[in-house]
A and B are shown apart, each in its own frame.
Chain A
Amino acid sequence: MFEKALKGNNNYWIWLAFLGTFMAIGAICYIRQYNFGLGLTGMSRDVSWGLYISNFTFLVGVAAGGVMLVLPYYIHNYKVFGRITILGEFLAIASICMCLMFIIADLGQPIRALNVLLHPTPNSMLFWDMIVLNTYLLLNIICGWVILTAERKQVKPPKWVYIFVYISIPFAISIHTVTAMLYCGLPGRHFWLSAIIAPRFLASAFAAGPALIIFVSLILKRVANFDAGKEATDKMVTIVLYAALVNAFFVMLEFFVGFYSQIPGHMHTLQYLFVGLEHHGHVYNNLVPFMWGFVVLTTAGFTLMAIPYTRRKDLWLAIGSASLFLGLWLDKGIGFVLAGFVPNPLEEITEYYPTLNELLITIAVWCTGFFILTILYKIAVGVEHEVEA
């Protein structure tokens, strides 16, 4: 089937070349970082995780979001998703690849990464995260590839593959739950120390993942003559809207707990995120624009997708799903991780500014992910066309 990725029109190759350029730039930047150390990033003793881990966290969610297509189709036999389930599975593959790249980019000693396997440590959440992420990746590769191959041959997929499909569903939940547990089990980090982190992560994931699939399917409709179908799109919009609402609800609950209890530790980071935190006469607020961007973009995206008039126009739906996706990225892919380090355990404030080198590596990982996604979707759409022909 891979040969389908080797044939394409000019736009296809230009798009891949565009992504490839950023990948090459990022590769050079990574070599620089590898040779100098993580000192080339904006991270510091106080803010010890930066863009790499924050984007990793968000992308785990995108990967888990694919399950919102897999579950209705395979568990509830919701036939309408038949054409697009493969998009969810392939999105999961591309997202996990990005996650793994971000982890490697973030390690101080990447060549020792296998120590996690050589010295397995079950009390560390990172150990479990490694296990569930890699298993989920493998499951999606197996399920996606086997089912697509069967579709191409126009036969029913072999029965055994359904075992993996069903296992992949709880695994989708587990990857984001364990990723939340990286944060919410740490004493002394008040902003993260909240039992609602895992459900909040899942809610935002189930909005962001399908939102991206809606956006991409609208592009596929234009450039690849692949129509997800009106009913399927509408159903995805419903899923996204409910998930986005639940996410907003959870965020507001965090505000209630912090500001009604008036416990300083529970308020500081929220203040830092949304209005800025005053400390020794200086107001620290470098994440404030991002968080208001999150509020504005998710609200706008939600509205555009909720109003029937705009939802039925492809352009508005594309803008709506893209802005919702971007908004959720600002929340989880920027704010959540970076702000958790403010204030630091000694109640001092250090702000984080990524360096150019770090930004280019981050962009390159995203481009690599979209490169993989493009190729996978090209294959999937190619098979669809072949079957229909």
Chain B
Amino acid sequence: MDKKRREFLKIAGISTLAGLGAPAVVDRFVSGSSPLAALAAREVETGGHGEPAEAQAAPAEHVQQSVTTGIRLGMVIDIRKFIDNPEMEKECVRVCHAVHNVPVFSRKKDEIKWIWRTGYENAFPEHTNYYRNDEIEQNEVLVLCNHCDKPPCVRACPTKATFKAANGIVAMDYHRCIGCRFCMAACPYGARSFNWRDPREGLDMNKLNREFPTRMRGVVEKCNFCADRLGRGQQPACVEATGSTKAMVFGDLNDPNSEIRQVLKENYTIQRKPSLGTSPSVFFII
């Protein structure tokens, strides 16, 4: 018995030492001159959208604002421009839903939407305050999928039917989705819709956009940042609908020379629910 106990203590002691020692060894590797380690670090950096290599070293910011390498597509919505022109907001919604064959159902229960207008306090529940100025009180804000850099929906999906593409777009594979709706529970922005019934019943089949597929019932869908249009060199449909007003600016958040970066540099912007750490790629100028 005693001997056993001694053995146990020995093993426990050694493994504790090993446990304490291992991080030090790893640290040496990462900071050291080993070419293998350097390559691994590079891998992390160029891996696109994971944690940046210098994340730990960065000054303790409340919420990490994610990667600085690779392409990360994002959008800035200037709601001041829409206040003068609420019709343009409706047009954005209409165009998006027409281009993507989003069905219209009379029962709210069946509703599907990719981009829609909502109240300021609904879009930004963490930013509510007393006595807002009239402009914000009386106008609505456009909301859509945030294409988060750390998307909770992608984490939740059990089949990788929703995934993050290399350019930062959170995309859907409608053919793989099993319709468990875990992603809908996981999304903190209510960006996702489910096809509760055959979507074609809610579509005018004569007005279909033949360049984009309709969905089948039983799968989840949401804004895809117009990945298909981008592939053809076009802007997202909603951005195009705002014309030259610059009410919506789309581009690569990681490219310091992009227009969107200039806009972000010159304006104070906010994101929806930043405290959740999802790092949304959609920014708002209030």
Which A residues are closer than 8 A to B by beta carbons?
Answer: 36-39, 41-46, 48-49, 103, 106-110, 112-113, 115-116, 118-119, 121, 123-127, 130, 182-183, 186-189, 340-341, 344-348, 350
| Interface flag for B155 (CB, 8 Å) | yes
* Contact yes or no, A39 B158, CB < 8 A: no
| Interface flag for B135 (CB, 8 Å) | no
8 Å CB interface, B119-160 against A: 121-123, 125, 143, 152, 155-160
* Contact yes or no, A186 B185, CB < 8 A: yes
Chain A residue with Cβ nearest B191: A345
List residues of chain A with CB within 8 A of the CB of B194: 38, 45, 48, 108
8 Å CB interface, B174-195 against A: 176-182, 184-190, 193-195
- Report the bound CA distance from A37 to B178 in whole Å: 13
List residues of chain A with CB within 8 A of the CB of B218: 37-38, 107-109
* Contact yes or no, B160 A119, CB < 8 A: yes
List residues of chain A with CB within 8 A of the CB of B125: 346-347
* Contact yes or no, B273 A188, CB < 8 A: yes
- Most chain A CB neighbours (cut-off 10 Å) among B111, B176, B185: B185
Selected A-B contacts with CB under 8 Å, 11 pairs: A37-B198, A39-B196, A39-B197, A106-B181, A108-B220, A112-B176, A112-B177, A124-B155, A187-B186, A187-B276, A346-B189
With A116-B158, A116-B178, A348-B122 known as contacts, the answer to whether A37 contacts B197 (CB < 8 A) is: yes
Contact digits for B59-96, partner A, Cβ 8 Å, 1 yes 0 no: 00000000000000000000000000000000000000
Give the Cβ gap from B104 to chain A, nearest Cβ, in Å: 14
List residues of chain A with CB within 8 A of the CB of B143: 346
10 more A-B residue pairs beyond the given contacts A38-B179, A106-B180, A347-B122, with a C-beta to C-beta distance below 8 A: A38-B196, A107-B178, A108-B177, A110-B178, A115-B161, A116-B158, A121-B157, A124-B156, A187-B186, A346-B125
- Report the bound CA distance from A140 to B112 in whole Å: 42
Contact digits for B96-122, partner A, Cβ 8 Å, 1 yes 0 no: 000000000000111111000010011
Give the Cβ gap from A2 to chain B, nearest Cβ, in Å: 34
Q: Which of B109, B121, B217, B277 contacts A108 (CB 8 A)?
A: B217
Chain B residue with Cβ nearest A127: B158
With A49-B185, A124-B182, A186-B186 known as contacts, the answer to whether A115 contacts B195 (CB < 8 A) is: no
With A107-B218, A345-B190 known as contacts, the answer to whether A126 contacts B177 (CB < 8 A) is: no
With A38-B196, A107-B218 known as contacts, the answer to whether A187 contacts B178 (CB < 8 A) is: no
Q: Which of B111, B123, B157 contacts A44 (CB 8 A)?
A: B111
With A37-B217, A107-B180 known as contacts, the answer to whether A119 contacts B159 (CB < 8 A) is: yes
List residues of chain B with CB within 8 A of the CB of A108: 177-181, 194-195, 217-220
List residues of chain B with CB within 8 A of the CB of A121: 157-160
* Contact yes or no, A112 B178, CB < 8 A: yes
With A48-B181, A49-B181, A182-B182 known as contacts, the answer to whether A187 contacts B158 (CB < 8 A) is: no
List residues of chain A with CB within 8 A of the CB of B182: 124-126, 182
| Interface flag for B281 (CB, 8 Å) | no
- Report the bound CA distance from A350 to B109 in whole Å: 9
Q: Which of A106, A115, A347 contacts B159 (CB 8 A)?
A: A115
- Report the bound CA distance from A127 to B188 in whole Å: 21
- Report the bound CA distance from A41 to B121 in whole Å: 30
Chain A residue with Cβ nearest B157: A124
Give the Cβ gap from A35 to chain B, nearest Cβ, in Å: 10
* Contact yes or no, A126 B156, CB < 8 A: yes
- Most chain B CB neighbours (cut-off 10 Å) among A41, A121, A130, A183: A121
Give the Cβ gap from B2 to chain A, nearest Cβ, in Å: 26
* Contact yes or no, B184 A115, CB < 8 A: no
- Most chain A CB neighbours (cut-off 10 Å) among B152, B178, B184, B186: B178
List residues of chain A with CB within 8 A of the CB of B216: 109
List residues of chain A with CB within 8 A of the CB of B159: 112, 115-116, 118-119, 121, 124
List residues of chain A with CB within 8 A of the CB of B190: 45-46, 344-346
* Contact yes or no, A188 B188, CB < 8 A: yes
- Most chain B CB neighbours (cut-off 10 Å) among A125, A187, A340: A187
Q: Which of A36, A43, A109, A186 contacts B177 (CB 8 A)?
A: A109
List residues of chain B with CB within 8 A of the CB of A44: 108-111, 196
List residues of chain A with CB within 8 A of the CB of B110: 39, 44
Give the Cβ gap from A336 to chain B, nearest Cβ, in Å: 13
- Report the bound CA distance from A284 to B278 in whole Å: 30
- Report the bound CA distance from A182 to B12 in whole Å: 35
List residues of chain B with CB within 8 A of the CB of A107: 178-180, 218
List residues of chain B with CB within 8 A of the CB of A340: 185
* Contact yes or no, A126 B158, CB < 8 A: yes
* Contact yes or no, A43 B180, CB < 8 A: no
List residues of chain B with CB within 8 A of the CB of A38: 179, 194, 196-197, 217-218
List residues of chain A with CB within 8 A of the CB of B189: 188, 345-346
List residues of chain B with CB within 8 A of the CB of A110: 178
With A48-B184, A116-B158 known as contacts, the answer to whether A346 contacts B123 (CB < 8 A) is: yes
List residues of chain A with CB within 8 A of the CB of B156: 124-126, 186
Q: Which of B112, B180, B185 contacts A189 (CB 8 A)?
A: B185
Give the Cβ gap from B213 to chain A, nearest Cβ, in Å: 16
List residues of chain B with CB within 8 A of the CB of A182: 182
Give the Cβ gap from A121 to chain B, nearest Cβ, in Å: 5
List residues of chain A with CB within 8 A of the CB of B219: 108-109
- Report the bound CA distance from A246 to B212 in whole Å: 54
List residues of chain A with CB within 8 A of the CB of B197: 36-39
- Report the bound CA distance from A44 to B195 in whole Å: 10
Closest 10 CB pairs of A and B: A108-B179, A188-B188, A108-B218, A39-B197, A39-B196, A126-B158, A37-B217, A345-B190, A124-B158, A346-B122
Chain B residue with Cβ nearest A350: B108
List residues of chain B with CB within 8 A of the CB of A39: 109-110, 196-197, 217
